[in-house]
């Protein structure tokens, strides 16, 4: 992008897995007995039955999409990714989308929810897309070559210092020998 190369990182089904497909992810969803594809964020939302997923339950278990009409997951629209320039860590491009879902379940003491089938209701979803501008890309290029400029400038200054030191030693030595030669000639004339 604008002459910068980056590494692209893509979110996969492991991001919102609860340990059913990837056992090492079980620690992020303790006690969840739901299919893979949503992450329980109830603890972060003061106990509200909130779960996060990709928009339209993209990469989630079909259980979620089958329970709600209108879900049309699309890899082109719903894939999470970030492209990063590896030397500086500057993001070149990013697309992040998430869906907040409410867990609807049967509650015996509330008449309205006594006969409800358990499922997840998409409450809202959002998508953010960011791209590095040309001006910032030019600044990033400068930032990338700055260490090289510093290194070569340092070597240049060391070389200049060595050259000046050599010239100083040469002139000092020449003047020293010239002075010794004049002194010797004066001493010979005195006799």
Check whether residue 110 and residue 183 sit in a common domain.
no
Instruction: Provide the pLDDT for residue 188.
Output: 60
- Report pLDDT digits (tens) over 121-179: 999 989 999 999 999 888 888 888 888 889 999 999 999 999 999 999 988 888 777 76
Continuous segment of H or E residues that includes residue 53:
strand 50-53
Domain that holds residue 124: 7-132
- Is residue 42 one of the residues assigned to a domain? yes
pLDDT, position 129: 92
Mean local confidence (pLDDT), 52-61: 92
Residue 101 has pLDDT above 60, yes or no: yes
What's the structural domain count of the chain? Answer: 2
Element (H, E) at 76: helix 75-78
Q: How far is Cα 16 from Cα 28, in angstroms, rounded to an integer?
A: 9
């Amino acid at each position: 992008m604008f002459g910068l190369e980056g590494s692209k990182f893509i979110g996969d089904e492991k991001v919102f897995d609860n340990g059913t497909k990837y056992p090492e992810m079980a620690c992020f969803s303790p006690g969840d007995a739901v299919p893979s594809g949503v992450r329980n964020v109830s603890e972060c939302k003061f106990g509200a039955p909130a779960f996060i997923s990709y928009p339209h339950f993209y990469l989630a278990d079909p259980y979620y999409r089958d329970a709600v009409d209108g879900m049309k997951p699309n890899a082109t629209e719903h894939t999470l990714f970030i492209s990063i320039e590896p030397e500086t860590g500057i993001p070149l491009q990013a697309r992040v989308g998430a869906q907040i879902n409410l867990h609807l379940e049967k509650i015996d003491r509330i008449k309205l929810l006594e006969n409800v089938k358990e499922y997840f209701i998409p409450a809202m979803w959002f998508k953010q897309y960011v791209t590095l501008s040309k001006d910032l890309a030019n600044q990033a290029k400068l930032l990338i070559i700055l260490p090289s400029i510093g290194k070569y400038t340092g070597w240049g200054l060391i070389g200049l210092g060595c050259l000046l030191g050599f010239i100083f030693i040469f002139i000092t030595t020449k003047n020293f020998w010239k002075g010794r030669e004049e002194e010797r000639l004066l001493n010979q004339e005195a006799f």
